[in-house]
Structure formats: C-alpha cells, structure tokens
A = this chain, B = another copy of it.
C-alpha cells in the first residue's frame, strides 16, 4: 500500500489500509490410539472444530489452545499454525471470510464420548494414504485408472503430459517411489480431477461418482490434508511424536505411532538405532510383558531435549519391502 496522499493526511496510516473481514480458527487436532491416527471432528465427523478467536489472548496460538481445551477437555501438547485461507463463497454476505488453521497434537487419553465431537481415523478420509500393509488396493483398482483417464481427457497434448507427470509424481507411478509427504498434492489432484465429492458438490450433476474416502464440509478435508502433510514432514526432523505418546512406552509402540502417521513401515533395528543415537529417550527401568515374546524395556522421553527442541528429530528409516 503506502499511498502517499493517505499518509500525508492521516497518521498512523496502518488503520485505513486494513480490510474488515470475518475471521475464525480451524483446528486439526491429532491423536494416535491403538496404532491409528485420529482427528477430532464435529458435525457427524464431517467438520473440523472451529471457532472465533477470542480477544484477550496474547496470541492466536494461546487463544486456540484455551478454546480447544475448554471445548474438548483435551490438553494440546503441541500447536503449530498451518495456513490461512480466505474465501468469499462460504458466507452469504459481502465480507471476506478468513480461516486460520492450526495443527494440534494431544494424547487422547480422556476420550470420553461426547455429543458434539468425536475422533475418527484419518485414513477414513484418505484411504489411499495408508501404505502400512502395502499399496492399498484402492490405488491400482480405482484411483490410478481414473486419474489416468482424466489425464488422457485433456485436449491439449501439453496439458496431457503435464497431468500425467503430476499424477505419476504424486502417486509414485512408474519407477518412482511413494512419497508419503505429498498428502496435499494428492488431494488437490483428486479435487482437480473431480474425483472427490467436494469438487462436484453444488454443481449440476453428470459427474462420475467419487472415489472412496469420507468427505467433509467446505474445504475441511483439504485442511486436514495440510495438517497430515505437515505432521508427516515434521516427525522427520523434530521430536514431536512424543506429544502423541503416553508418559512411558516401548520402542515398538513408538515405532507403531510413527508408522501410523507416516502410513508406511520402518525398519525396526534402524529405527532403534536412530532413536538411541539421538538420545531422545531414556530407560525407566521397568519392562512390559506385552503380547507374546520377550518383555520390552519401557522408555520415557528425555525432557532435556525440549530445551534444544530444534535438535535433530526423528528421521524415518523407511523400508522398501
């Protein structure tokens, strides 16, 4: 901005440059229970919790924390801003709607049943993202063929080639590897190809049926995808997984949590090596006689690491098999 005339007449100039808008917060709150990542939802699992931010908080972050904790009874261990969206379609009136989205991690221990909100596995919304038991059949059977058809649909050969490349890259086709971080790119491709319900909603029909995967209102599934992608990236270089773990845990439990988030398996001995050589955990002294097999040592997260929290995180020694 910095309109010179405006500056000359009024001081301070900041105020006139601002635009009056509506704003709210949207939270992607994640917990992992029994090896499944879950997201906190409202409205019959079709929406992410959202609310106004409240004056009187020092920061957006603290406002969100207070609000989520009051509404859900869940303490948020870690909060991070995701993205700010602007929209005009969402509300009927003239104003622009701004939504500031956050990622929050919690332990979902006190998971009482609630009328207003509930937890749902994030792979219900993104069934093509879970590769822990190998490539999910939905990909070769449904998603990839329909994306290929969409690519071939394009008139322009340049666009055709571009679509094919993007699909191949995002979904790890041909000789490429599956990249678990590309959650958002994949969802956006599916949206662009009108293969998710959100893309065809409200338009006159004549659209082909959507692929499996539970839809959400407005752009909430896209926001969830953003959060998943951010978390899958983050666990590789920041020790945030521990925000999702109970006070003590075995290394296999930790591994299962990481695998649940990443949607793919890791090599057990290497995972162990990685965790230990980074001094992220320490033994409690106790062991745990789990299912069958030799008892596992219990570990706890080393608090010292939190001070240098930017320290090396939890890289993923991915396995190919």
Interface residues of A (CB under 8 A from B): 1-2, 4, 14-15, 17-24, 42-43, 47, 49-55, 59-60, 63, 67, 71, 81, 83-86, 88, 90-93, 95-98, 100, 115-117, 162, 165-166, 169, 179, 182, 185, 218, 307-308, 310
> Are B83's CB and A182's CB within 8 A?
no
CB distance from A315 to the nearest CB of B (A): 14
Q: Is the CB of B96 within 8 A of A53?
A: yes
Residue in B14, B55, B85, B95 whose beta carbon sits within 8 Å of that of A91 in the complex: B14
Q: Are the C-beta atoms of A84 and B86 separated by less than 8 Å?
A: no
Task: Give the residue among A15, A18, A43, A92 with the most B Cβ atoms within 10 A.
Answer: A18
Closest to A94 in B: B55
User: What are some 18 contacts across the A-B interface (CB < 8 A)?
Assistant: A2-B116, A2-B117, A4-B116, A14-B50, A14-B97, A14-B218, A18-B22, A18-B23, A18-B97, A19-B53, A20-B22, A20-B95, A21-B22, A23-B98, A53-B96, A59-B86, A60-B84, A169-B310
Contact, CB under 8 Å: A310 / B182: yes
Contacts of A83 in B (CB 8 A): 81
